[in-house]
């Protein structure tokens, strides 16, 4: 058409935001970074719930040099939830265009509180034991177990229940140690008390049957 075509420069996200759980009052981070072969550095902006965020005079939220969105402290209450929502990162290079990242949801939970924690126990070889751990329901997916301060690898014999408790079946001498339940999320973690599990040899004597855990009365909201 009589004019030279502009060469196209590859332009992509090296990191995109992911669904994140934040703790009320703590810091939070939504990652984003873009790369281009062009000489001009990409300008990063953020959208919340589909609308561009105005962060110029915001002392609580700001964009880091790499493009990530950082929250000094997350605000969340029954009637004020300014941070919870869906976020998207938009990178722009003048005369080249804009690209939009995947959307990511920032959810906010209260401070982790352990309603029940593991307690010291003694179990016979080959028997079973339940180590208690009960936290806020929205934090259960972020709980894991540690043995002697090392992450516990679950298997068919070591099972974490949907509520967070750990079941140890067919106990062996290798199961002896210090156990704790850990709640993890971006930027912070909280651990339960540590409890010693001791393994004792089976004596061969007949032992009476006993319940490891018994049902207790509970009240739940519909859908919980």
Instruction: Give, as one character, the DSSP assignment of residue 116.
Output: B
User: With contact defined as beta carbons under 8 Å apart, do 30 and 44 qualify?
Assistant: no
pLDDT over 70 for what percent of the chain? 94
Q: What is the pLDDT of residue 155?
A: 95
Question: Has residue 3 got a pLDDT over 80?
Answer: no
Higher pLDDT, 37 or 102: 102
Give the H or E element holding residue 57.
Answer: none
Q: What is the pLDDT of residue 67?
A: 95
The reported pTM is 0.63
Q: How far apart are CA 87 and CA 91, in angstroms?
A: 13
Helices (DSSP H) in the chain: which residue ranges?
Answer: none
């Amino acid at each position: 058409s009589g004019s030279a075509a502009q060469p196209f420069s590859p332009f992509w996200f090296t990191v995109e935001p992911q669904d994140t759980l934040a703790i009320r009052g703590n810091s939070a981070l939504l990652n984003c970074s873009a790369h281009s072969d062009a000489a001009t550095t990409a300008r990063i902006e953020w959208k919340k719930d589909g609308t561009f965020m105005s962060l110029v005079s915001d002392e609580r939220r700001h964009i880091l040099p790499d493009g990530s969105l950082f929250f000094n402290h997350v605000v969340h209450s029954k009637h004020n939830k300014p941070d919870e929502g869906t976020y998207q990162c938009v990178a722009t290079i003048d005369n080249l265009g804009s690209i939009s990242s995947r959307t990511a949801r920032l959810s906010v939970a209260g401070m982790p509180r352990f309603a029940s924690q593991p307690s010291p126990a003694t179990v016979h070889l080959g028997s079973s034991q339940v180590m208690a751990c009960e936290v806020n329901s929205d934090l259960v997916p972020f709980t894991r177990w540690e043995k002697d301060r090392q992450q516990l690898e679950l298997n068919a014999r070591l099972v974490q229940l949907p509520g967070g408790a750990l079941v140890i079946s067919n106990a062996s001498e290798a199961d002896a140690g210090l156990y704790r339940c850990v709640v993890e999320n971006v930027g912070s973690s909280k651990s339960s008390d540590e409890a010693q599990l001791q393994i004792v040899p089976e004596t061969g004597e007949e032992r009476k049957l006993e319940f490891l855990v018994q049902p207790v009365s509970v009240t739940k909201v519909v859908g919980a």
